[in-house]
Amino acid sequence: MRTLIVATMGLVLSGAFVFAFNHLGKSKTTGAIVFIAVWLIFCAVDYSNGVKAGYAAIDELGIHILLFVVPAIGAWVMARFLP
């Protein structure tokens, strides 16, 4: 359940970044790139915390690949195809 919540939060944040950058006069692509960088840092820290908490590194890696890729693709799609 937590994975679904975090992935959904990432998709919402990706839309917010793209929308905010577009309305601040920057390109939507820049918003997507900034979001992807921030989201990568978030995923790396969350992965590290999970491994420190005792979860297997390979299990955490599989989950965090999903947690990173879904919102990153969402940001790219929003920046590329939304008007």
**Tens-place pLDDT, residues 58-67:** 999 999 999 9
Q: Please state the domain extents for the chain.
A: 2-81
Q: What is the percent of the chain where pLDDT is above 90?
A: 96
pTM score > 0.85 for this model?
yes
Task: Answer whether 67's CB lies under 8 Å from 8's CB.
Answer: no
Q: What is the percent of the chain where pLDDT is above 70?
A: 100
Task: Answer whether 72's CB lies under 8 Å from 37's CB.
Answer: no
Indicate the DSSP class of residue 54. T
Q: Which single residue is written with the structure tokens 């917010």?
A: 16
**Tens-place pLDDT, residues 15-30:** 999 999 999 999 999 9
